[in-house]
C-alpha cells in the first residue's frame, strides 16, 4: 500500500494575508502540518501544492516536496480544494508516481494529530466509503437555530423540536477541516467530499479550531498553549 499527502497552500489568502507561512508559536503555520504528515509514517511523498515561491521554499525547508508550482487557474478565489486535488493527483499520474491512497491535509491545522490521520486511512480501507475525514461535534446544537425575519424577529427553525431536551436532540457533527482521505481514482472524479459517502473520524472540539480571520488566529494561539503546546520553540 502506498499513500501520498497533498497539502494545498496558495499564496493569495485574503482574510489573513500569508497565513500559510505566518509564524504560529515559533514556526511557519504550514510546518505543523508537514511535520504531522511526515511523523505519521504513512506517506511515501508529502507534497505541497502552491503557486507561491516563498511558500514552496519554506515547505521544502521543513521536509516537504514541491515538485511543481500550481497554475493560476487553480490558485484563484474560485478554485476549490477539489480542483486543487484533481490537479495534484493528475500530476502524480502523469509523472508515474504510484499511490493507492491520497490524503489532503490542510496547511492551517496546527492541532492535527498523526493518530487521527492513521485512523482515517484504516477506516477507509475497511469500508466501501468514498472518503474518510475528521469531524467534530457542534459546540451548540444546530437544532436550536433561530431564523431571523425581515422585521428582526426570531423564531426556531425547527419548532417541532422546541419541547425536546437538549440531551435528547439528534447528534450532529461537522467537517473539522483537517484531513480528507480517498483512493487516488476517487480524487479524479467529480465526487464532492461532503456530498459523497464518507466516514467521519471524530475528534475533540478543542482540536478543530477553524482559522479564517484574526480572531480565529488569536483563539488558536491561546488554545495551543492551553492544550500543552509550547509557547515558543528554540
Within a domain: 53? yes
Q: What value does the mean pLDDT take over residues 36-63?
A: 98
**Which residues, at least 6 apart from 216, have a Cβ–Cβ distance to it below 8 Å?**
209, 210
Among candidate residues 176, 7, 11, the one with its CA nearest the CA of residue 77 = 11
Domain count, the chain: 1
Q: Which three cell numbers stand for residue 62?
A: 521543513
Distance CA 86, CA 112 (A): 23
Does residue 195 lie in a domain region?
Answer: yes
- Per the domain annotation, does 222 fall within a domain? yes
| Rounded percentage of the chain residues whose pLDDT exceeds 70 | 98
**Residues sharing a CB contact under 8 Å with residue 17, sequence separation 6 or more, in sequence order:** none
d(C-alpha 179, C-alpha 5), whole Å: 10
SS3 50: strand
- At 168, the pLDDT band (50, 70, 90 cuts) reads confident
- pTM recorded for the entire structure: 0.91
User: How high is the pLDDT of residue 230?
Assistant: 52
Q: Work out the average pLDDT over 26-46.
A: 97
Range of the domain at 184: 3-131+175-226
Residue 114 lies in a domain: yes
Res. 103 pLDDT band, cuts 50 70 90 = very high
- Within a domain: residue 162? no
pLDDT per residue as tens digits for the range 172-225: 999 999 999 999 999 999 789 999 999 999 999 999 989 999 999 999 999 999
| Residue 63 and residue 30 in contact, taking contact as beta carbons nearer than 8 Å | no
Higher pLDDT, 134 or 139: 134
CATH number at residue 72: 3.90.550.10
Q: How many helices and strands in the chain, by DSSP H and E?
A: 6, 10
Amino acid at each position: 500500500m502506498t499513500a501520498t499527502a497533498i497539502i494545498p497552500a496558495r499564496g493569495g489568502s485574503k482574510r489573513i494575508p500569508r497565513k500559510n507561512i505566518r509564524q504560529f508559536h515559533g514556526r511557519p503555520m504550514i510546518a505543523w502540518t508537514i511535520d504531522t504528515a511526515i511523523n505519521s509514517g504513512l506517506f511515501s511523498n508529502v507534497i505541497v501544492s502552491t503557486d507561491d515561491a516563498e511558500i514552496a521554499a519554506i515547505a521544502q525547508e521543513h521536509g516537504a516536496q514541491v515538485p511543481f508550482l500550481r497554475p493560476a487557474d487553480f490558485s484563484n478565489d474560485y478554485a476549490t480544494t477539489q480542483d486543487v486535488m484533481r490537479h495534484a493527483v493528475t500530476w502524480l499520474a502523469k509523472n508515474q508516481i504510484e499511490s493507492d491512497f491520497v490524503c489532503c491535509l490542510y496547511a492551517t491545522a496546527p492541532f492535527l494529530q498523526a493518530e487521527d490521520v492513521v485512523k482515517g486511512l484504516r477506516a477507509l480501507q475497511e469500508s466501501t466509503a468514498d472518503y474518510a475525514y475528521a469531524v467534530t461535534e457542534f459546540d451548540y446544537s444546530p437544532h436550536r437555530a433561530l431564523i431571523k425575519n425581515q422585521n428582526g424577529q426570531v423564531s426556531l427553525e425547527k419548532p417541532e423540536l422546541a419541547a425536546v431536551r437538549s440531551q435528547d436532540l439528534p447528534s450532529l457533527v461537522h467537517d473539522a477541516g483537517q484531513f480528507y482521505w480517498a483512493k487516488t481514482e476517487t480524487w479524479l472524479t467529480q465526487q464532492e467530499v461532503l456530498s459523497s459517502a464518507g466516514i467521519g473520524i471524530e475528534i475533540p472540539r478543542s482540536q478543530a479550531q477553524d482559522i479564517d480571520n484574526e480572531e480565529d488566529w488569536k483563539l488558536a494561539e491561546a488554545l495551543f498553549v492551553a492544550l500543552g503546546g509550547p509557547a515558543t520553540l528554540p
